[in-house]
């Protein structure tokens, strides 16, 4: 199902029609061409595996003469994340860090001990150097491992346009603009790549800055990706833009570089070190894997607030990913665990 990255970029979405029925469609400018036979992206992937064809080819074969207005789908909040599972427990969300050449300075500053010797190398700096030296191995060989983390299951995924929850125990809620690989596990336990989407790997950078051993806690937050799935591998060089708005006004914006040419790990190496663990490969499950961020507003002393809006755009991926931030109360209070 892998795409060679050549030719027109085919982009797909998941959404609900005006009757609330789930649909899959091909992005065609301002309109969405509705697919028949399948209601979800996962069903489309499973059918492509069953018919021994590619995702792009099957989408074209299932294209109907029906269309919907894309702007209306977005404006009315009917857009969904481009890949999910009917049982969110069978969707795994993970990510890689220190994968981008542009992230070295940012992450090194975050993880450098305040009282430490400036001549000492942080673990972040070492990971970047290892990635540069061994993150792009020859085909068929194993490269160096990247930083890896777990974000949660499908319950942590927020649809495009919806607010990202910031729990009351959080010290921060900061964006991380990334590309996200989207995968489906086939009956033989082999991961099948559907494609990539724009992602916001929302994290708690203040907590991580206190001590990098808190990174696991900082990553257990909601996230968002979409709205479109770019079938196959992404272009080698991608230029994106992050904008943070407060009460409708842009308070910070910055361009970022991503794609394979701007990464010290190849996508294939990141995929290998994600899927080499057999106990993660259950037939029918779906995976979303964040490929790492090049920069983030936290490095420029920006602190987001409830009500802010984060927009991440990459022209090759179509419509931007936009999400707000909303404070939420934690479900569990101190002492809330009960003896059975």
What pLDDT, in 10s, does the model give residues 121-154? 778 888 889 889 999 999 999 999 999 999 999 9
H or E stretch covering 26 = strand 22-28
pLDDT tens per residue across span 170-193: 999 999 999 999 999 999 999 999
pLDDT score of 168: 95
Per the structure block, which two tokens stand in for 213?
């051993």
> What separation in angstroms does the CA of 331 have from each of 168, 174, 324?
10, 22, 21
**Is the per-residue pLDDT at 243 higher than 70?**
yes
Distance CA 235, CA 198 (A): 13
- What pairs with residue 224 in β-bridges? 158, 200
Output the average pLDDT for the chain.
Answer: 92
Distance CA 309, CA 166 (A): 13
Q: pTM, whole model, 2 decimals?
A: 0.92
**Is the per-residue pLDDT at 115 higher than 80?**
no
pLDDT top residue among 119 and 44:
44
Which of 37-50 are b and which e, b meaning 16 or more Cβ less than 10 Å from the residue's Cβ?
A: ebebbbebbbebbe
Q: What is the dihedral of CA 103, 250, 199, 321, to 10 degrees?
A: -160
pLDDT tens per residue across span 196-212: 999 999 999 999 999 88
């Amino acid at each position: 199902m892998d795409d060679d990255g050549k030719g027109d970029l085919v982009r797909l979405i998941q959404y609900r029609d005006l009757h609330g029925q789930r649909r899959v469609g091909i992005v065609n400018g301002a309109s969405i061409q509705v697919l028949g036979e399948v209601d979800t992206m996962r069903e489309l992937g499973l059918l492509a595996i069953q018919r021994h064809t590619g995702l792009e080819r099957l989408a074209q074969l299932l294209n109907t003469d029906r269309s919907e207005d894309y702007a209306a789908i977005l404006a009315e909040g009917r857009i969904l994340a481009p890949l999910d599972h009917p049982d969110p427990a069978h969707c795994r969300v993970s990510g890689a860090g220190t994968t981008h050449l542009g992230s070295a300075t940012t992450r090194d500053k975050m993880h450098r001990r305040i009282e430490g010797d400036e001549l000492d190398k942080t673990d972040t700096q070492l990971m970047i150097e290892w990635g540069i030296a061994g993150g792009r191995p020859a085909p068929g060989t194993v490269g160096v491992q990247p930083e890896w983390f777990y974000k949660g299951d499908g319950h942590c995924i927020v649809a495009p346009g919806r607010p990202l929850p910031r729990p009351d125990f959080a010290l921060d809620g900061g964006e991380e603009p990334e590309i996200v690989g989207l995968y489906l596990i086939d009956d033989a336990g082999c991961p099948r790549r559907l494609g990539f989407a724009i992602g916001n790997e929302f994290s708690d950078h203040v907590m991580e800055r206190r001590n990098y051993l808190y990174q696991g806690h900082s990553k257990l937050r909601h996230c968002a990706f979409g709205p479109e799935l770019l079938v196959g591998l992404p272009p080698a060089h991608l230029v994106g833009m992050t904008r943070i708005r407060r009460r409708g006004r842009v308070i910070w914006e910055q361009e970022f570089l991503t794609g394979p040419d701007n990464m010290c790990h190849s996508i294939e190496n990141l995929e290998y070190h994600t899927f080499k663990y057999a106990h993660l490969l259950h037939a029918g499950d779906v995976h979303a894997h964040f490929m790492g961020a090049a920069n983030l507003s936290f490095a420029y002393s920006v602190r987001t607030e409830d009500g802010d809006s984060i927009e991440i755009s990459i022209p090759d991926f179509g419509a931007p990913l936009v999400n707000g931030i909303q404070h939420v109360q934690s479900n569990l209070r101190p002492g809330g665990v009960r003896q059975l």
